[in-house]
Amino acid sequence: MFSSEELERYARHIVLREVGGPGQQKLKAARVLVIGAGGLGAPLLLYLAAAGVGTIGIVDDDGVALSNLQRQVIHRTEDVDVLKTESAAGAIRRLNPHVEVVAHVTRLTAANARDLVRGYDIVADGSDNFATRYAVSDACFHEGRPLVTAAVGTFDATLTTLRPHEKAADGTPNPTYRCLFPDAPPPGTVPSCQEAGILGALTGIVGSMMALEVVREIVGFGEGLVGRLLMIDTRAMRFETVRYRWDPENPLSGGNKQSESST
């Protein structure tokens, strides 16, 4: 049940036919794990909190730096040197006191990913490196959790949703992250944002779109990005979507799949 304050807070959702009271109840009951409280995580966390997601877990082991504030809008100048999980939790509580925040002050790795993912209904990955992306996507596959994942460059970005533990309408498995990106690029070939720079507002666009995909996955409306990769080019302000399919050679759900103990 909602209190009178919650009914007023979520009124614009509740009058939406595609969300309504039942959808808002699903949001309140949901547990979402967000990987990273940085450029993508900042708007993602704020919009999930504003939407009324009941429990939000945050995985991050870093502290706030002054150079983060150009894009990581959940943090304030006075939060410099504070843990990002602590700063983000404070911002969420100020925005919506009905949301429970769980801080995981750690770096997600292949060793701890499954334990972290297991306690949540859906995962959103805003990390900035391939090792974490592969670790969290593998964990979500094995634990049967949907994953919304995005990556940003200087002026470009990609976004998709993964449900590889389920089947597509034609009976084939939904694709895994490794169907889309079989191998990580060689070290040093993709410059970091410290080296190449990044447009701050781009992370706001993509993080907000991640929040939309998470809400869609929880509530259930429209057509999500399962099997589709959204590509964003802000130099030309162009959005394109390409379809991708399950690769029977992928190591998770394909013919050469790994054992769970080896991942």
Q: Which of 173, 185, 184 is nearest to 252 (CA)?
A: 173
| Site of tokens 């006075």 | 78
Q: Which of 32, 89, 152, 193 is catalytic?
A: 193
Is 179 a catalytic site residue? no
In residues, how long is the chain?
Answer: 263
Cβ(93)–Cβ(82) under 8 Å?
Answer: no
- Tell me the CA distances in angstroms from 34 to 3, 78, 227, 259, one per residue in order: 27, 23, 21, 26
Helix axes 20-29, 200-219, angle to 10 degrees: 110
Helix axes 200-219, 41-51, angle to 10 degrees: 40
Q: Which helix (H) or strand (E) holds 150?
A: strand 147-152
Q: Which of 47, 49, 26, 27 is nearest to 206 (CA)?
A: 47
Strand-strand pairing, 31-35 and 238-243: unpaired
Alpha helices, H only, 30-129: 41-51, 84-95, 113-118
CB atoms within 10 A of CB 164: 26
Q: Which residues pair with 238 in a beta bridge?
A: 233
Structure tokens given for 75: 């943090």
Sign of CA dihedral 208, 28, 50, 65: negative
Which residues belong to the active site?
Answer: 193
